């Protein structure tokens, strides 16, 4: 049973980079903020803002960079079969 209605397949090209950029920026901003502030209450206060700003930048960058990354991958990796 589906708990929610799925998006049409045409949105896959946007949903994948949205999820990928969210996860990547969550991890990278967490590491960076933790390194800067240490495991303190200030870390928990500052990490959401750092994550939001980095995600805001990373998502459109990923949308622009993904086609180039696919082309470079095709140049470097032999196709299957």
The torsion angle over the Cα atoms of residues 55, 56, 58 and 64, rounded to 10 degrees, is 150
pLDDT at 3 over 90: no
Going through 1-81 in order, the beta strands assigned E by DSSP cover none
pLDDT at 1 over 80: no
| Mean pLDDT for all residues in the chain | 93
Instruction: Give the alpha-carbon dihedral of 30, 33, 35, 41, to 10 degrees.
Output: -100
pLDDT in tens, 5-40: 999 999 998 999 999 999 999 999 999 999 999 999
DSSP letter for 5, please: P
30 with 47: CB under 8 angstroms? yes
């Amino acid at each position: 049973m589906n708990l929610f209605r799925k998006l049409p397949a045409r949105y896959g090209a946007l949903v994948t980079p949205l999820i990928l950029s969210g996860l990547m920026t969550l991890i990278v901003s967490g590491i960076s903020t933790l390194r800067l502030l240490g495991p303190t209450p200030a870390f928990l206060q500052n990490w959401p803002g750092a994550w939001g700003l980095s995600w805001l930048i990373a998502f459109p960058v990923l949308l622009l960079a993904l086609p180039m990354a696919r082309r470079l991958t095709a140049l470097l990796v032999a196709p299957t079969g």
